[in-house]
Structure 1
């Protein structure tokens, strides 16, 4: 696998614990919206700590972008990246991943699980191919919603938010379960279901979709 040592060009906060990083793009580097790569932060002692992150830029952009949530309670790579400065270096490998756009459908994301969908939605907007696709996005609080304004501009009323831990939210309150899916999805046939999020979230959502009659061939998930 090829590796590339690249400088951080821009760092911008997206939420209170999420940053957008734009880094150099190697000549000829190509990926498909939805794919990821392994990235390590080239600060002393962290060079071998590789973690998977999804590209959130478009393949046509002249930079690579990652939208990364920093977990302050973990003394790990994401916390170090939250401290990173412009000009510091990261190392990435080849692109990989099985999440890609197969056709119109329902995208279901939990927290930072939105990241592989960002490039997909940006690409569909560029092509004017959003069509009937919709997004159901689960978070703990309003402040956790990543790129709310952009996703709203892309999807309009097809952008549904559900909040688990904030009672005064203007959005739906609770978690995504079988009943919630029945209320917010018009049909469970002849469309794809794209699901990404923490493991427990993934299991709950995919089990619920299975109970609602969704065939495994209609599920687009990351293969681990």
Structure 2
């Protein structure tokens, strides 16, 4: 057996180092896999810039929230506000980005009179490590008398955006064990009552499907509540 001397070892060292570097370069570096995370937060919408006469300066795009659905897929809620003759429109739009593909869902197309709605609350549920649901709560006016709710369901291959009927100072209640079954609470409208007065709430049972949401009134359900109790709990997960 031949034993290398010091000169031989020194000559062989660069080759050994190069071999080690090549092996290291060929070893794939694993990045942490995306994992669904549950969130629940209320938001104070960012207001648009205003002109001296109190009107909204046109041409603005205000990102109110950005959410990660899965690896390579995001959702942004963007407002395109403009002043109206009697009522300002915020034109909230849900923008889904999956790789190079982008789809926009204007809230006014999802919910009747939805152009006046602004995002105020977000909550999510994970049904597995890489799929789940985001629930979005929108409201109109300083008192939040009209409220709309949208659900974004996602997996590694699809994203589905659906809206519930407009509610009056309402909320949605989601069962963690069955997130596609949602209760929609809405105050019974009465023009003689003040916004903060206690009201009786009716409840609709809503089933979330891939292309639609079916809601039916739940007879005898509901209770009398102060709308103020729902202001920071428009989305309830049980």
TM-score by length of 2: 0.29
**Structure label with greater radius of gyration:** 2
Larger relative contact order (Cα-Cα within 8 Å, sequence gap ≥ 6): 1
Normalised by the size of structure 1, how large is the TM-score? 0.31
**Structure ranking higher in helix proportion:** 1
